Amino acid sequence: MKSTEPRSPRQYRYLDLVMVAFVTVYLCSNLIGPAKPAAIDLPLFGTVTFGAGVLFFPISYVFGDILTEVYGYARARRVIWTGFAAMAFASLMAFVVVSLPPAAGWTNQPAYETVFGSTWRIVAASLTAYCVGEFVNSFVLAKLKVLTEGRHLWMRTIGSTIFGEGVDSLLFYPLAFWNSGLIPNELIPSLMLSQWLAKTAVEVFFTPVTYKLVAFLKRAEQEDFFDRDTDFTPFQIKT
């Protein structure tokens, strides 16, 4: 007789930890990095100026690759929405705290506003670009995994990042800064290109780490998910 009892969902040892790492890196990239432009001197290139967030944000794509590669698109989708909700809540609370009247004698309000006072246009652009870029990254990696029968991990992670980070940069800069008066319109295409190349370079740099983490998690979880019959709609969180 066939059992009608619902099956318990698969339990994983490290999925929650990977999700926390993903969300933490994403929050750091938006709350710590953007407030500081950094400059370093590189041989042949001279002085290179960049937003410090470029050090954080590509790492979220590394974790996104690991989630999709090991646990599948549906679980990665749930984590992407978790990151979106966390950033939306953090942005709302930053707005509330910055807007509160400062106590008498406290003189650090301008500095506080500089660090945490992003405009709603930039916040909306960041959330939109993140959400679309991460889903593109996860979708491309999942499809490539099926097409390659799980071979050439380096090609899948770098290829998916090229698409995901490309969409992210293509959306964020025009949505955040076009006709804003903050950045001249003619500089936006070069910023999009430089950020896309820099973020992709970080993914390439972390490829050996990605290999080690993926191999460890596949062994520990006894999982190597192939999205052959997956519903790829982004607008749900069930797995």
Q: Tell me: the pLDDT tens digits for 25-77?
A: 888 887 776 656 677 787 877 776 666 667 777 788 899 999 999 999 999 99
SS3 46: strand
Residue 155: its pLDDT value, please? 95
Alpha carbon distances (Å) from 126 to 48, 167, 171, 187, 235? 23, 12, 9, 18, 19
How does pLDDT run across 121-139, given as a tens digit for each residue? Answer: 888 998 999 999 999 999 9
pLDDT > 90? residue 194:
no
Query: CB within 8 A of 137, min separation 6: which ones?
Result: 61, 64, 65, 68, 160, 161, 163, 164, 165
Model confidence at 2, pLDDT cuts 50, 70, 90, reads very low
For the cut 50, the answer to whether the pLDDT of residue 80 exceeds it is yes
Is pLDDT at 4 greater than 60 in this prediction? no
Non-local CB neighbours of 50 within 8 Å, separated by 6+ positions: 37, 38, 39, 194, 195, 198
pLDDT at 158 exceeding the cut of 90:
yes
Q: Given this model, what pLDDT does residue 7 score?
A: 45
Please tell me whether residue 67 adopts helix, strand or coil conformation. helix
DSSP helix/strand/coil, 104: coil
CA–CA dist 199, 50 (Å, integer): 11
H helical segments located in 103-233: 109-116, 120-147, 153-177, 188-205, 207-221
User: Are the CB atoms for 158 and 203 separated by under 8 Å?
Assistant: yes
Percent of all residues in the chain with a pLDDT value above 70, rounded to a whole number: 91
Question: Quick check: helix, strand or coil at residue 217?
Answer: helix
What is the rounded (10 degree) CA torsion for 221, 227, 231, 237? 20
Tens digits of residue pLDDT in 205-216: 999 999 999 999
CA angle 175, 177, 180 (to 5 degrees): 120
Residue 18 pLDDT > 90, yes or no?
yes
Q: How confident is the model at residue 81 (pLDDT cuts 50, 70, 90)?
A: very high
Phi, psi of 219 (to 5 degrees): -70, -45
Higher pLDDT, 169 or 183: 169
**Which pLDDT value is given to residue 35?**
58
Query: Quick one: pLDDT at residue 1?
Result: 41
Which pLDDT score is estimated for 159?
Answer: 95
Is the model more confident about 48 or about 4?
A: 48
Calculate the average pLDDT of the chain: 87
